[in-house]
Amino acid sequence: MPDTAAIEIRPPETLREFYGLMARTREVRARMVEQYLAGADIAPDDIRSLRNAGASLEATPRSKTDDGYEIVLDGERRITVDLTYEISEIVKDLVLLERGEDALYEHLATLYPGFTSQVDKGVAALAPHAFRALVTDRDGTVNNYCGRYLTSIQSVYNAVFLTRFARACVPHAVMLTSAPLRDGGLVDIATMPRGAFVYAGSKGREYLDQGGTYGSYPIDPAQQQMITRLNTALGELLARPGHEKFGLIGSGLQKKFGQTTIARQDITHSVPEDESRTFLHEVEDLVAALDPREQHFRIEDTGLDIEIILTVGDRGGGLKDFDKGDAVVFLDEALDLGLAEGPALVCGDTSSDVPMVAACAAKNAGSHAVFATVKQDVRDRVSRTTSRSLFVDTPDVLVVILHELSKQGGNG
Ligand SMILES: [Mg+2]
């Protein structure tokens, strides 16, 4: 029988093809999530597509040192990429789709020691409470960590479990991340149905509400125009021969609110240093041409990433020092979340998420924090911020806790 699946088995040879393949799994998965949530049968072609995508990734040649897979960067040069996230998430999705939720739980229990007891403990601690809102970080918190943003496509099981919680348990669910919102951001890797979550990117300085309407922290229109011109010029620079790779390696191109990031190197130093340095100078020249008197932008070079930062907020504390706690305050007002009216459930995994806990606790003292981390210093920081805290080892434990709570549902 000819394979009619939209995705065939074809290992990606170039980075561009790899990104393209993962983007197609997003389309397939978004469709599956909708069908799954509606209790409908999943289209067999879609399941085959997802299986073929996994087989394509697994058939990619291993690197010589066997620490990853080899993909062409440009011309003859090859780059080693870690595909752990992409492959293991497809495996989990196929377990769910072909064998069901119990089988997926069993699979997860084989991956994580103490999985079941952590889930039971979390459900028991949170079930008695009705939450006004879920305010959660994404990467490392409710989504397993992936080194590349744009291939960290949200899995089917993850989207189903989070959507069920959002619908059954809280009036408002907010995903709040430091990553960009769109144009290569949060919404481009999410597979949940529209309206399940508010998506807030750039540390919460811009968002899409549950109706899909865009909003942002106040910004001067002239400054916004400068950012638009900068991003257009960077797009043209990346379109030049030999430059495409800078949008694909490491951090890639990230258009955040008030700040644009472009990679010039990755952690494995895939790009020769002289070429990387030349690219840095080209970006510096581009910014100097747009902003000859250095009134609008400041460049920070980390050696791997070039950060071009709008300087407007440096005076008067606007954009620069904005943290995720400021974001909570801003979003509560902009979106009418009513965080003072009831406790929030705040989820995170790193220190930069702790200000969300403090801000929600200040709004309502009954707010709870759940952090997915094994790092003791982060756990200590959370415990010092609130007594209503709970810790799990990994994002999969947290999403299963939320899924179990959704079955008890209707407390919001
Ligand atoms: Mg995180």
pLDDT tens digit string along 121-157? 999 999 999 999 999 999 999 999 998 888 999 999 9
In a domain, 269, yes or no: yes
Q: Each residue of 158-176: pLDDT tens digit?
A: 999 999 999 999 999 999 9
Confidence (pTM) = 0.93
Mean pLDDT, range 39-56, rounded to an integer: 97
Q: Give distance in angstroms: CA of 352 to centre of ligand 1.
A: 8
Residue 67 lies in domain: 1-112
Residue 315, pLDDT score: 45
In a domain, 226, yes or no: yes
320 band by pLDDT with thresholds 50, 70 and 90: low
CB-count burial class (<10 Å; 0-12, 13-18, 19+) for 55? middle
DSSP category for residue 190: -
Q: Give distance in angstroms: CA of 136 to centre of ligand 1.
A: 9
318 band by pLDDT with thresholds 50, 70 and 90: low
- Residue with the bigger pLDDT between 1 and 40: it is 40
DSSP category for residue 143: B
254 band by pLDDT with thresholds 50, 70 and 90: very high
Residue 219, pLDDT score: 83
Q: Give distance in angstroms: CA of 285 to centre of ligand 1.
A: 33
What is the token pair recorded at 169? 């348990």
Q: Give distance in angstroms: CA of 279 to centre of ligand 1.
A: 29
Residue 164, pLDDT score: 98
2 band by pLDDT with thresholds 50, 70 and 90: low
DSSP 341-377: SS-EEEEESSGGGHHHHHHHHHH-TT-EEEEE---HH
Residue 11 pLDDT more than 50? yes
Q: Each residue of 265-294: pLDDT tens digit?
A: 988 888 999 999 999 999 999 999 999 999
Asked if 120 contacts 334 with a C-beta cutoff of 8 angstroms, the reply is no
Q: In what order do the strands lie in the sheet with 259-263?
A: 253-256, 259-263, 305-310, 297-301
Q: Each residue of 323-334: pLDDT tens digit?
A: 999 999 999 999
Q: Give distance in angstroms: CA of 143 to centre of ligand 1.
A: 8
Calculate the average pLDDT of the chain. 93
Q: Give distance in angstroms: CA of 248 to centre of ligand 1.
A: 21
Residue 30 pLDDT more than 50? yes
Residue 255, pLDDT score: 93
Q: Give distance in angstroms: CA of 142 to centre of ligand 1.
A: 8
Q: Each residue of 373-410: pLDDT tens digit?
A: 999 999 999 999 999 999 999 999 999 999 999 999 65
Q: Give distance in angstroms: CA of 156 to centre of ligand 1.
A: 20
In a domain, 149, yes or no: no
Domain boundary among 280, 314, 348: 314
Mean pLDDT, range 49-77, rounded to an integer: 91
313 band by pLDDT with thresholds 50, 70 and 90: low
- Residue with the bigger pLDDT between 270 and 341: it is 341
Find the CATH number of the domain harbouring 44. 1.20.58.1800
Residue 316, pLDDT score: 44
Q: Give distance in angstroms: CA of 137 to centre of ligand 1.
A: 6
In a domain, 63, yes or no: yes
Please state the domain count of the chain. Answer: 2
Mean pLDDT, range 358-387, rounded to an integer: 98
In a domain, 75, yes or no: yes
Residue 300 pLDDT more than 70? yes
Find the CATH number of the domain harbouring 273. 3.30.70.3080
Residue at 290: amino acid letter? L
Q: What angle do CA 197, 201, 205 make, to 5 degrees?
A: 115
Residue 319, pLDDT score: 59
Domain boundary among 284, 299, 314: 314
In a domain, 372, yes or no: no
In a domain, 393, yes or no: no
Q: Give distance in angstroms: CA of 351 to centre of ligand 1.
A: 9
Q: In what order do the strands lie in the sheet with 368-372?
A: 214-216, 206-208, 198-201, 172-176, 133-136, 344-348, 368-372, 389-392
Residue from 149, 148, 192, 199 nearest 173 by CA? 199
In a domain, 256, yes or no: yes
CA distance 168 to 241: 50
Residue 314, pLDDT score: 46
Q: Give distance in angstroms: CA of 140 to centre of ligand 1.
A: 5
Residue 105, pLDDT score: 98
Using DSSP's 3-state secondary structure scheme, residue 84 falls into helix
Q: Give distance in angstroms: CA of 371 to centre of ligand 1.
A: 10
Residue 3, pLDDT score: 52
Mean pLDDT, range 353-366, rounded to an integer: 98
Crossing angle of the two packed helices 101-111 and 115-126, in degrees rounded to 10: 120
- Residue with the bigger pLDDT between 315 and 123: it is 123
Buried b (16+ CB within 10 A) or exposed e, 371-389: bbbeeeebeebbeebbebb
Domain boundary among 59, 82, 112: 112
Q: Give distance in angstroms: CA of 43 to centre of ligand 1.
A: 33
CA distance 140 to 117: 20
CA distance 284 to 390: 46
